[in-house]
């Protein structure tokens, strides 16, 4: 055994617990990210990106319930964006871009819909989203013409067959 192999073996032996925690966190982030992406993509209406405005949040509920829910939704969105950034780092498996997109969907920020259309208009992201939706028997997401990655004749565009 070479000196480098001995040193690596000694490092692994000395840090076994920390390495196990790191692998566990990596696997947990991957599973959590995949589950979050799947649930949101499957539940999203096919015309979500074509809508100009969102429906009022929890319409008909008391103001304090709407405010508390909106704060909770935004906190969840911030946590999803942070998890997505973490999953986007090299060496950490997971659907980083899609988790960031889901986090942005939860946030109440100006320009949100335009950013969502741009991210989901990217061919690779769109292909993954449509594949996940198809696996659960849902139609592909429709993206407005003019979004990056879509053209008037592309599937899912208004006027496309």
For the entire predicted model, the pTM comes to 0.58
What is the chain's pLDDT, residue by residue, as a tens digit (161 residues)? 788 889 989 998 999 999 899 888 878 877 887 887 788 888 888 887 777 766 677 788 888 888 899 899 999 999 988 988 887 888 777 777 778 878 888 888 888 878 878 877 788 888 888 899 999 999 998 876 654 444 333 444 444 44
Contact 118, 147 (CB under 8 A): yes
List, in order, residues 6 or more apart from 151 with CB less than 8 Å away. Answer: 145, 157
Q: What is the DSSP letter of 138?
A: P
- pLDDT for res 14: 92
């Amino acid at each position: 055994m070479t000196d480098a192999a001995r040193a690596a073996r000694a490092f692994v032996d000395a840090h076994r617990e920390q390495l196990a925690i790191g692998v566990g966190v990596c696997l947990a982030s991957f599973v959590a990210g995949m589950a979050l992406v799947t649930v949101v993509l499957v539940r999203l209406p096919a015309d979500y990106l074509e809508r100009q405005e969102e429906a009022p949040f929890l319409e008909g509920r008391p103001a304090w319930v709407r405010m508390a829910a909106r704060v909770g939704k935004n906190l969840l969105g911030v946590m999803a964006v942070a998890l997505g950034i973490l999953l986007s780092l090299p060496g950490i498996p997971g659907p980083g871009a899609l988790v960031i997109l889901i986090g942005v969907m939860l946030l109440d920020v100006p320009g949100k819909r335009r950013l969502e259309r741009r991210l989901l208009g990217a061919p690779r992201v769109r292909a993954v989203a449509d594949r996940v939706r198809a696996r659960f028997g849902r139609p592909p997401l429709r993206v407005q013409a003019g979004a990056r990655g879509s053209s008037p004749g592309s599937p899912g565009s208004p006027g496309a067959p």
